[in-house]
Structure 1
Amino acid sequence: MRLAPAGIREWGGGGLIALIIAVMCWLLISTIWVNWIITGILTVLWFAVAWFFRDPSRRPSSSFGIGAMISPADGCISAVERVDHHEFVNGPAIIVRIFLSVLNVHVNRTPCAVEVIRTDYRRGRFLDARTDESAKVNECNLIFCRRDDSVLLGVRQVSGAIARRIVCPLEPGDRLARGVRLGMIKFGSTTELVVPDFDDAVVHVSVGDRVKGAVTLLAEVPWRGSGTEV
């Protein structure tokens, strides 16, 4: 099982602490069955942390069309909204919001091949990610992107009541293929995909649907002009 490097402080440091505690118990406690119980509890706790930071290999299907927008996260669709204006696209937009529970993979991925324009980390609150208000006021990271046909889009990583750290190593000018890892949010959180609300844009999911990052098709925004996706 591959573990996300962004979580090395948690799964690496936690494993080291658990090992030290277990060794100290075996050295200081003479009752063997007590030592086995403590060791078992520490092992289960470490595996629980490691399971959260799992980072499975994903490869987007080759059957997706050039305008396909795949899910940037694992989880459950909590909202599909249309707004008159969004800063990601400088105009009308479609927002697909995904809630990630602590049981979901928390690594985020690119919805299509993009160039990163900029990222913008914004301080905020830490409300329960399951509430509508959290999407508006919680701490978040905005990733502004552009396709090769100049279509603007974005991915928004939003913290939750438990999630207190958003990881995003991207820099302006980075060019990423579809389904590539772009960061993660530690513990329960929300991820949003924002695309232009063109007349020919199509949404393929609805509230309550379960989705998988780099696997599930969320929407299609047909290619503008000539050329192909990189």
Structure 2
Amino acid sequence: MKHDSLIVFEGLPFIAAFGVLTFLAAFFFESLWIAVIPLVATIFTAWFFRNPDRRVPENEKVIVSPADGKVIRIDEGFHHELLSGPCRKISIFMNVFNVHVNRAPYSGTVAAIRYNPGSFLSANLDKASEENERNAILIRTENGREILTIQIAGLIARRIVCWVDKGANLKRGERIGLIRFGSRLEVFLPMETKLCVAKGDKVQAGQTPIGIF
């Protein structure tokens, strides 16, 4: 199934629900102003689930950001159970105004997917990485490098959506899933990766270079 529609399929039930509320409010109440609130909610929800195209950098050595948002932390020499050695970890915080469709940071094969249920702490807290609901996607490149992307639910987010399966062949910048409402995404890169971002930088999924091999 392709996921290149202007608005992602998972957002349609929310948009439809607010749309029905708008219609009912306008139909049953004398003042149209009462319908403004659900109308604004309908428009915002449609905008939140937007799914724009992105221009992926031509340089094949470039690793792109898997999420829209702000870089809130960079860790060196970090270890993760799915990875064979130390790595560099970049944490990206997505607020409710960011596009929430996630993309593959690099081309390769999905070597593993691991989902963990958990809490719903605010996604900008460091302990959210270990305690919140999360979904890890491990990509193994053609030359054997490992890149791990973890989708992490936040305070408002209540659903992580993953569009890929183990064994899938991904292209850099390809859509891989989304997280509903405010959330966090972490990407783990090999230590030899030259980083292209710093704490505080704003990034766009599939478009902003975050590292280079």
Shared fold (TM-score, shorter chain, > 0.5): yes
Task: State the partner residue of 1:225.
Answer: none
Task: State the partner residue of 1:5.
Answer: 9
TM-score (norm 2): 0.92
> Are the equivalent residues in 2 in contact too, given 1:88–1:153 (CA < 8 A)?
no
Distance 1:84 1:41 in 2: 46
Q: Which moved more, 1:182-191 or 1:135-144?
A: 135-144
Distance 2:102 2:96 in 1: 14
Q: How far 1:186 moved relative to its partner?
A: 0.4
Would you say how many aligned residue pairs link Structure 1 and Structure 2? Answer: 209
Matched, 1:202 2:202: no
Matched, 1:219 2:194: no
Q: How far 1:196 moved relative to its partner?
A: 1.3
Give the 5 Å matches for 1:1-230: 2-23=6-27, 25=28, 29=29, 31=30, 34=31, 36-62=32-58, 64=59, 66-198=60-192, 201-221=193-213
Q: How far 1:135 moved relative to its partner?
A: 1.7
RMSD (Å), alpha carbons = 1.6
Distance 2:165 2:112 in 1: 7
Q: Percent sequence identity over matched residues?
A: 34
In structure 1, give the amino acid aligned to 2:203: V
Q: Which moved more, 1:8-17 or 1:112-121?
A: 8-17
Task: State the partner residue of 1:226.
Answer: none
| Structure 1 residue ranges (4+ consecutive) displaced by more than 3 angstroms after TM superposition | 20-23
Distance 1:9 1:114 in 2: 33
> Are the equivalent residues in 2 in contact too, given 1:88–1:194 (CA < 8 A)?
no
Deviations 1:77-130 (A, max 9, x none): 011111352234310111111000011110000111121112111011111111
Distance 1:202 1:4 in 2: 33
Deviations 1:3-41 (A, max 9, x none): 111222222333234334433x1xxx4x3xx0x212333
Distance 2:72 2:78 in 1: 20
Q: Note the residue ranges of structure 2 that are not aligned, 5 or more in a row.
A: none
Distance 1:169 1:113 in 2: 16
Q: Note the residue ranges of structure 1 that are not aligned, 5 or more in a row.
A: 222-230
Distance 1:135 1:41 in 2: 35
In structure 2, give the amino acid aligned to 1:196: P
Relative to structure 1, the CA distance from residue 163 to residue 172 in structure 2 (aligned partners, 3 Å threshold; closer, same or farther) is same
Distance 1:188 1:42 in 2: 20
Task: State the partner residue of 1:228.
Answer: none
TM-score (norm 1): 0.85
Distance 1:84 1:133 in 2: 15
